[in-house]
Structure 1
């Protein structure tokens, strides 16, 4: 807003005072008196401050009222700037006070403090007022939590958690497991008011479990609950020394044998051992034979049982004996009677085949030489056959001649 020119202001002192008063009233009217925040949310038991913005400066008085009417009976407290003093009203409970800047301070807010509040700002130029409304929310107490059992079998037992809020107002309940929100689904079921959580658990869901109550301003969570989850055995393995091959252990007589059975379960599995169907005294996961004898040969079975889950698993291995062999690999080889007979027949047939082939070769070679001799002619044109007949004539022999004929 522009001020009048000096020429206009200098016409008369009375006009000058009227004009300045009008300017101040106009500037005061343009300033918007406001409360901050306009619609606050208060928490029971805490302190709250109404802040005033847009008020004039200088010699200013502030008066606060409970409600939207500036009646004497509704007056809380008033601040007089000159000289600085405070005046309490009929509605003051001893928890309300006002600062030199006009801020209303309420300590230990109660539920009855909800509602409207009005401030009147007075200065030499006039007065203004502003009204605001507040909401008071109940201060939340830590809820209690219970569970029907502290231990459960994985995938089998049903666990029930119950949350007990200690406030009666409008609150929301949320469940958490491992600090993640729990929602309704295949595993969990929630009651209509979310106070009960029901479902089954796995070995990875031991907890912590807790519930949290909240309103638009504040939240409070319960103590946490953790569970013991029983599971397994999922599988069983049987290792040995000497090592197992194809479900068999083969060891020398007099040597030691160790069999180790292992599982994964909670609580730890109980173990039993059977030898050829007869129970052994060992109740641990390890069975030792210090010096193997013929009496130790047979079938061994390791049985693992979880007493909580009632799951039973077993593994079987066969213990055999072998003698020293010349195989360099260190793995025992045993030749059965059938295998020895098979090798013997094979070697015999091989030798007979070799002898027959050699005999056939020698006979064939001699026959071929004879044929070549009888058919060969000398320089006189005589063949070997003619020479043979001449020799027989000179040296007759009944046996040879009968043959030649």
Structure 2
């Protein structure tokens, strides 16, 4: 009794080993992998073998079975699956993305068990971008862009800002399989242009570019006087004070002198034939009506008496005396 049990176990073990050996010896080779959705693929056995029976399945779902010249196709594959009853090659047409999976062929004569993983990919078409809002305020709002395709599967998303790749960071986040780009608390340098490049193993596509309009400033203010670094000038000079700031949209300007508003609202304040009493602090104030931010810059102007004028006043008595002496000399008759 024990000998029979031992003999049966040995037969089962030998059968399993033969199956494993057959599986290792024979491979399933798709005519294309990945396969394009809508196309036809053939799964062939290599090296070629002659089979008298067997069955094909994918993800534990039977596709068809055959015995000799007869074959039966299971529901769901009628009209698009067939087998070469001699070689065991499976042909599957009108592929869809759901046809992706592990395909397994089994046969008892000869003993065979082999499989292959097949991927069916849909070509990409019509890559588009959708922006939550185009007008943003620096450090106050976030920018969200969604990338989508009309058709396509197994998608890989790459985001570009101009010619530079956008990478994740403290303020840059990717969600939904990298199809959504979120820029938290945008800065003025996040305006774009942004685009989305989408690819899969069989195709690729690129969206049109989009830009953000980002309001910022005013900040980084500067004030120059006559385009010079000095703030000391002589009485009688003409002064042109020019105010610079970084702001989008352009800032509104107001000038003050010693804290009092000057009736000038542009970027330039001009003073002609200045006097000493016009010395003091001049301030340029800038305001952005979208960010509701303001900034200012101040310069202290010193206006002194003209050195040329002081010299002339000092020399005037001497000049007058000299002129008097010349006139006197001319008025005395010469002695012959």
**Structure 1 residues 67-78: aligned runs within 5 Å:** 67=63, 69-71=65-67, 72-74=70-72
Which residue in 2 is equivalent to 1:399?
A: none
Which whole-Å CA distance do the structure 2 matches of 1:111 and 1:289 have between them? 76
Quick check: 1:150 aligned with 2:134? yes
**Deviations 1:88-114 (CA, angstroms, capped at 9, x unpaired):** xx9553x9899xx99877665235655
Which whole-Å CA distance do the structure 2 matches of 1:44 and 1:105 have between them? 14
**Structure 1 residues 6-25: aligned runs within 5 Å:** none
Query: Of 35, 40, 43, which residue of structure 2 is paired with 1:42?
Result: 35
- The structure whose Rg is larger is 1
Quick check: 1:180 aligned with 2:161? no
Which whole-Å CA distance do the structure 1 matches of 2:249 and 2:53 have between them? 72
Q: Which runs of 5+ in 1 are unaligned?
A: 1-28, 76-89, 121-125, 327-331, 333-405
Quick check: 1:279 aligned with 2:275? no
Query: Of 224, 227, 233, which residue of structure 2 is paired with 1:250?
Result: 233
More strand by share: 2
SS at match of 1:204: helix
**Structure 1 residues 56-135: aligned runs within 5 Å:** 67=63, 69-71=65-67, 72-74=70-72, 92-93=79-80, 108-111=94-97, 113=99, 116=103, 132-135=115-118
Aligned Cα root-mean-square deviation (Å): 5.2
8 Å contact 1:140–1:166 — kept in the other structure? no
- Normalised TM-score (structure 1): 0.48
Q: Which runs of 5+ in 2 are unaligned?
A: 1-21, 57-62, 311-336
Aligned residue pairs: how many? 268
- Normalised TM-score (structure 2): 0.56
Which whole-Å CA distance do the structure 1 matches of 2:64 and 2:113 have between them? 9
Query: Of 293, 303, 321, which residue of structure 2 is paired with 1:321?
Result: 303
Displacement of 1:240 in angstroms is 0.8
**Structure 1 residues 300 and 180: CA distance shift in structure 2, 3 A:** closer
More helix by share: 1
Query: Of 305, 308, 311, which residue of structure 1 is paired with 2:287?
Result: 305
**Structure 1 residues 216-227: aligned runs within 5 Å:** 225-227=210-212
**Structure 1 residues 64 and 212: CA distance shift in structure 2, 3 A:** farther
